[in-house]
Structure 1
Amino acid sequence: MNKLLITGATTMLTLTGVAHAQSSVTLYGLIDAGITYTNNQITPTGGGHSNWELTSGAVQYSRWGLRGAEDLGGGLKAIFTLESGFNVNNGQYTSSNRIFNRQAYVGLSSRQYGQLTLGRQTDGMVDFVGPLSLTGTEYGGTHFAHPYDVDNLNDSFQINNSAKYLSPDFAGFKFGALYGFSNQAGGFANNRAYSFGMSYIWGPLNFGAGFLQLNNSGQFNTNGAVTDTTGSSLQGVAGSSAVPLGALASRQQTWGAGVNYAFGPAVAGFVYTQTNLTQLFQTGFSTHFQNFEGNLRYALTPAVGLSAAYTYSRAGGNAGSGAPHWNQVSAMADYSFSRRTDIYIQGVWQGVSASSNSLLGVAWINGVAAPSSTSNQVEATVGLRHRF
């Protein structure tokens, strides 16, 4: 009898182990904290003053999340991701009205047919072009973003109500598409989004391209595709949360492409993006942004990494001959104590040239609390990152 009970218990434990082996849930996250100096920020009393501040996410937004998968057999899996951004300075969510403000989706994944997911997700510019820019990676991040992060390469906003498809790898070629619903009766196009992109890897060459369109997000349908954000693309314009610049226009179209080439311990890259904004700030003012980024990263040793980028940006449209253009130089050095923990030092200089009446002609490094009172701004950060 005792042998029977022991055998039964062993069988149950074995079956339980098999069940757990077929499904998994992973807790993961990243904490990025630093001290940032900015030479010039506008203050409520006027003028500009330097600022020393404790910052969260100077390179990568601090976040935690849950990622899970269940093997359904035949190469098919059920998958989910729930990811929340937070401010390590005070422990608050980066978005005040949602728990999982970065990503929240569920779907099916197949080795043969690709992946289909539903929920709050990233767009094609983030997925396919962002990894080729320093702003979309661990080698530069938040402060390296193009002006206002208007092309969203630094993942300042995500798409609600979205259905997304990612293809399997076809000998180095991948593609994807996303549609974000407005979720509004009688307003199908009122705050909807759609996006697509592709990438191709061939030896040391990595190429990617993407497209994103936001329709009528400026109508502020709060249940629509684009609402509040996890980044800082334009703080303080529409409340306490950061909002993408395109959410203040009747339409945003963004497209871009990039290429990386690896040689030895170095990777060189070039990225071009263009964003067209129609009726910005609900006026007749329309403009377009172009960004040209050249970047380089170099593994000096297995523990020491160096990276740098130069970005030239310009705005056009009916802003006229005085439309602003920006020059931005960014650099970073990183030392890894381990695969999970590293320290870094980085700096960014941004200069802008524009007419005195330009709406957007200010120097404002992404992630810095306030724009400059002059045509130049400099920031420097010393920080610590830990991944778990």
Structure 2
Amino acid sequence: MKRTLIAAATAAACSYTYAQSSVTLYGVADAGVEYLNHVPNAVGQANKLVRMTSGNIAGSRWGLRGVEDLGNGLKGVFVLEGGMALDSGTAVQGGRLFGRKAYVGIDSSRFGQLTLGRHHNLLFDLIISFDPMLFAPKYSSFNHDAWLAGRTDNSAKYAGTFGGLTVAALYSFGVDSSVANGSEVPGNSRIGREMSAGFTYQAGKFRVGGAYDQLNGSSAATAGKTERRYVGAAALDINPISVYVGYRRLVSQLVTSMPRTDLLWAGVNWNLAPTFALTGAAYKTNDRTSAKDPVSFVLSADYRFSKRTDAYITASYTKNNGGSALGANGYDGSVLPGNNQFGTVIGMRHSF
């Protein structure tokens, strides 16, 4: 018995000694100059605007990613990732230090990964690869519905890949901790709750994905009300061209403006050369409760100097039907209701 215990202890010590672990510092720096027309000034008149912007085709960020091999196909993992405005040096995501991601968990090569903390939602994880513009902060489906790239506090997330199938589920005890009494309230677990599930499947050159996401209200008065999104998308990758289509239905009891909408998109990515790519896309929101049906068209060109540095130019034209007020950057008040808007941004991105 004594020899058995000594052998077990020695094996455990050796396993710990030779365990592979690492911490990686990484990030993205993205900045450019943007032009917009029909932007309201202080007295509500439409004007042109030229400005410097951060996070145009990818949000500027920095982060730490860690992994430790625990043996038997298990790994301990963590991510701490913060967003920044490169033009001003300030933190974004409400000033949070790690506002983009902050989680810890365990990864199994057989069963998938389970993590706890602050995450991107599953709409982002599962559907981003089906948007021609990859949910870019500017000029993508993100501008029609920002929750497609939302983040959720106090959440547990599972994701597993089995052959060509990836499945995922997420539960949040309170989506936004910055809302007073908006999450994890004693006696009312529905306040700020989120439940989500989805999948992607790849068979050769064809890919398909779908997700369901449900949010509850962030107060005691609205905890029984929900906001639900149903998303389906597909892509066909025929090198050097990829073709994308997508659909999202929103049914909300939490908003009074555009509470039931359909969002449709389609686009093409064409890698003309190893260093140059063109992307074209169209996005349309159909409001089922009014005539507010904005449509946006996007064209983007990207030139890669290296694997880590590229330059880009992106242009967008938004047509606001029925008095809608969608700007090139979303529903941010940057365009007068009913006015169309042209926007373009030229910039550079470096990844490290």
TM class, shorter-length:
0.7 to 0.9
- Aligned residue in 2 for 1:175: 167
Alignment partner, residue 348 of structure 2:
384
Within-5 A mapping of 1:66-105: 66-105=64-103
1:87-133 Cα offsets, whole Å, 9 max, x none, are: 00111000344210000000000001111100001122111112111
1:314 CA drift (Å): 0.9
Residue in 1 aligned with 2:282?
Answer: 310
User: For 1:250 and 1:300, how far apart are their aligned partners in 2?
Assistant: 48
d(CA) in 1 for partners of 2:24, 2:225: 40
2:303 is aligned with 1:338: no
Percent identical pairs in the alignment equals 31
Deviations 1:171-213 (A, max 9, x none): 2011000000031102210111111110001111111111111
Q: Provide TM-score, normalisation by structure 1.
A: 0.80
Is the CA contact (8 Å cut-off) linking 2:217 and 2:254 kept in structure 1? no
* Aligned-pair CA distance for 1:47: 1.1
Pair 43,91 (structure 1): closer, same or farther in 2 beyond 3 Å: same
Indicate which of 265, 275, 280 corresponds to 1:293: 265
Aligned CA-pair RMSD: 2.4
- Contact 1:85 1:93 (8 Å CA) reproduced: yes
Shift of 1:278: 1.1
- C-alpha distance in structure 1 between counterparts of 2:194 and 2:291, whole Å: 28
Give 1:367 deviation, angstroms: 5.7
Distance 2:169 2:306 in 1: 36
Measured after TM superposition, the shift of residue 150 of structure 1 is 2.1
CA spacing shift, 1:212–1:368, aligned 2, 3 Å: closer
**1:164 equivalent among 135, 157, 170:** 157
Which structure features the higher share of strand residues?
2
Q: CA deviation at 1:363?
A: 3.0
Distance in 1, Cα, partners of 2:249 & 2:294? 14
1:82-231 maps to which residues of 2 (within 5 A)?
A: 82-136=80-134, 141-146=136-141, 148-150=143-145, 152-153=147-148, 155=149, 157-167=150-160, 169-182=161-174, 183-217=184-218, 219=219
Amino acid in the other structure paired with 1:270? V
Query: Which amino acid counterpart does residue 154 of structure 2 have in structure 1?
Result: N
Work out which of the residue numbers 45, 62, 80 in structure 2 matches 1:64.
Answer: 62
Distance 1:30-1:20 versus aligned 2 partners, 3 A rule: farther
Structure 2: unaligned runs, 5 residues or longer:
1-12, 175-183
Q: What's the CA shift string for 1:245-297, capped at 9, x where partnerless? A: xx9x942111111111011200001011111121415xxx6621211111100
Matched-pair contact (CA < 8 Å) for 2:103–2:119: yes
**Structure 2 partner of 1:363:** 326
Give the 3 Å change call, closer, same or farther, for CA 274–186 of structure 1 in structure 2: same
Q: Distance in 1 between matches of 2:41 and 2:279?
A: 32
Counterpart of 2:229 in structure 1 is 254
1:13-69 superposed Cα distances (whole Å, 9 cap, x missing partner): xx99x9586110000000110000001211222111110000001111101100000
Distance 2:109 2:129 in 1: 23
Equivalent of residue 44 in structure 1, options 42, 45, 67 = 42
The aligned amino acid for 2:70 is: L
The count of corresponding residues between Structure 1 and Structure 2 is 329
Distance 1:35 1:200, change over 3 A: same
Q: Report the TM-score when normalising by structure 2.
A: 0.88
1:102 and 1:211, CA in 2 relative to 1: closer, same or farther beyond 3 A? same
Alpha-carbon contact 2:325-2:331 (below 8 Å) kept: no
Give the partner amino acid of 1:165.
Y
Q: Give the Cα–Cα distance (whole angstroms) in 1 for the partners of residues 331 and 301 of structure 2.
A: 20
Aligned-partner Cα distance in 1 for 2:76–2:282:
42
Which one-letter code corresponds to 1:193 in the other structure? E
| 1:377 partner letter | Q
Provide the C-alpha distance between the structure 1 equivalents of 2:94 and 2:335, rounded to a whole number of angstroms: 27
Using the alignment, how far apart are the partners of 1:96 and 1:325 within structure 2?
30
Tell me the residue number matched to 1:231.
none
- Retained in 2: the 8 A contact 1:38–1:50? yes
Q: Distance in 2 between matches of 1:145 and 1:265?
A: 21
Give the CA deviation at 1:134. 2.3
Question: Which blocks of at least 5 consecutive residues in structure 1 are unaligned?
Answer: 1-14, 222-246, 356-360
User: Can you list the C-alpha shifts for 1:134-175, whole angstroms capped at 9, x where unaligned?
Assistant: 2435xxx1222337442633x2x30100011111x2220110
- The answer as to whether partners of 1:125 and 1:255 remain within 8 angstroms in 2 is no
- Could you say which residue in structure 2 is the equivalent of 1:7? none
